[in-house]
Structure formats: C-alpha cells, structure tokens
C-alpha cells in the first residue's frame, strides 16, 4: 500500500479538509499546476491510432486533446451525462471526425440517478447525488455493457474523473479491465467526495483492484493514480 492510501493519512486529509487547509494549499500551489505531471504522464502513453475513453469528459478539455494526438486513425469516446455540459462538449468536439459523445454516466450497475449541479460555471463539479435527491435525472450504464452494446472496441487508454464515483466506474467494467488491449488507466481520485459517501477506503480499493487486474500503479501526485499493464 502506498502512503496516499494509508488509513491514518486519509483521516488526516479529511481533518485538513474540514479546516479548509486543503483549499489554502491549493491556492498556494497555483491552481491547475499540480495537474501538469498528470497530463505529462497521461499523454506519454497515447499513440496515433489509439482508442481512448474519456470518462467524465466535462466540456472536452481532454477530449479534444486526445482527438488531436490519436489522429484520424484513432478514436475518442467521451462520456458526459449532464445535459447542459454534454451540449457544450458536443459543440467543442464537433470539428473532430474521430470523436463520439455518449451522454451517459458509467457506474457499477445500470440505472437512473440524480445529478447535482456544481458551483462552477463549466460543470466540472457536477456530481451524482443519489436516487432521491434533487437534481437532473441521468442514465447510468456499466462500461462492460457499453463495450458490448455499442461495439466500440477495447480502449487502449482510459481517463476517469467522476467526482467520487471512480471505484463505481471500475467495478462496472471487469471484462474491459481484463482485456489485454487496455494499456493504461489514469484516474483522478476524489478523496473528500469518497469519504462523504462513506467510502474512505476506496482509494486503496482502487489501487488493489487495478493491481489484481495485472496493472502496475503509481501515484503521480496526491490525487492522481496511473495504472499501466505489467
């Protein structure tokens, strides 16, 4: 187990979050700059002709960049369930002939859930909040179902950013994760949101699930994990 998934440190992170220390550190460290290492690692594993799944695509920051890297011989499938955000994403990628948008959420099982509108203006903090909360109704499918029903082909690289539902996404795609064609996964792990769901151990569960499937894992920074097939 890595230090990021040590139970004592997870508890300490939660305490710091309640005090607002993590927000202060985020501003001090310069906003998105901490994600530069994640971006560098992610794009180092992409090749022309690859198939990439962008799970939690938002308005397409990564989707459009993936499309450029994989080129016309490759393909990008963007998953974005929130209607307003999906509409913006569709407009942002319409010039790419190698992109496909699926307006569904991926999860551990198929169903209908409610999605809550986030505070930001680009929908980056929109998140699933359950079946009885107020919000926008969205459809959930499993990755394995999508793989079969849509005949999309095995992705070579997966990027996952689902606001505290990372483990659910992985649990819904055991066949996909076992497929030799899947070369790497890059996941943003939302420790705070997972803890709010009563899933404080989920970061360690994510790491263990990936290792059991034959991947070597490493934490690029305190919130991003990379898994590369051994």
- The answer to whether 220 touches 37, Cβ cutoff 8 Å, is yes
Which one has a higher pLDDT value, 100 or 118? 100
Instruction: Show the tokens assigned to 154.
Output: 């095995």
Q: How many CB atoms lie within 10 A of CB 48?
A: 10
Q: How many CB atoms lie within 10 A of CB 131?
A: 10
- C-alpha 230/C-alpha 29 separation (Å) is 33
| For residues 188-197, average pLDDT | 93
The pLDDT tens digits for 75-91 are: 999 999 999 899 999 99
Predicted confidence (pLDDT) at residue 118 exceeds the cutoff of 80: no
Q: How many CB atoms lie within 10 A of CB 3?
A: 9
pLDDT at 153: 86
State the residue for tokens 């959420």.
Answer: 105
Show the domains of the chain with their CATH numbers: 33-229 (3.40.50.150)
38: left (phi over 0), alpha (psi -120 to 50) or beta: alpha
The pLDDT tens digits for 19-60 are: 444 444 444 444 556 678 999 999 999 999 999 999 999 999
Instruction: Show the tokens assigned to 142.
Output: 């499993």
The pLDDT tens digits for 143-163 are: 999 999 988 889 999 999 998
């Amino acid at each position: 187990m890595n230090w990021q998934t040590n139970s004592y440190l997870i508890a300490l992170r939660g305490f710091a979050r309640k005090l607002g220390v993590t927000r202060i550190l985020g501003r001090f460290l310069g906003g998105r700059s901490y994600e530069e290492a994640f971006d560098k690692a992610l794009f180092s594993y992409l090749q022309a002709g690859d198939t990439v799944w962008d799970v939690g695509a938002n308005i397409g920051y990564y989707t459009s960049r993936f499309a450029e890297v994989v080129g016309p011989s490759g393909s990008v499938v963007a998953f974005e369930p929130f209607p307003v955000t999906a509409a913006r994403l569709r407009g942002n990628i319409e010039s790419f002939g190698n992109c496909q948008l699926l307006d569904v959420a991926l999860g551990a099982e198929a169903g209908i859930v409610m999605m809550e509108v986030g505070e930001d203006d680009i929908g980056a903090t929109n998140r699933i909040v359950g079946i009885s909360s107020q919000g926008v109704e969205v459809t959930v499918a499993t990755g394995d179902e999508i793989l079969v029903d849509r005949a999309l082909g095995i992705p070579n690289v997966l990027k996952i950013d689902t606001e505290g539902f990372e483990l659910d996404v992985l649990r819904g795609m055991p066949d996909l994760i076992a497929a030799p064609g899947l070369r790497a996964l890059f996941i943003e792990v939302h420790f705070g949101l997972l803890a709010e769901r009563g899933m404080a151990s989920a970061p360690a569960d994510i790491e263990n699930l990936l290792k059991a499937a034959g991947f070597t894992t490493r934490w690029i920074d305190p919130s991003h994990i990379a898994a590369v097939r051994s």
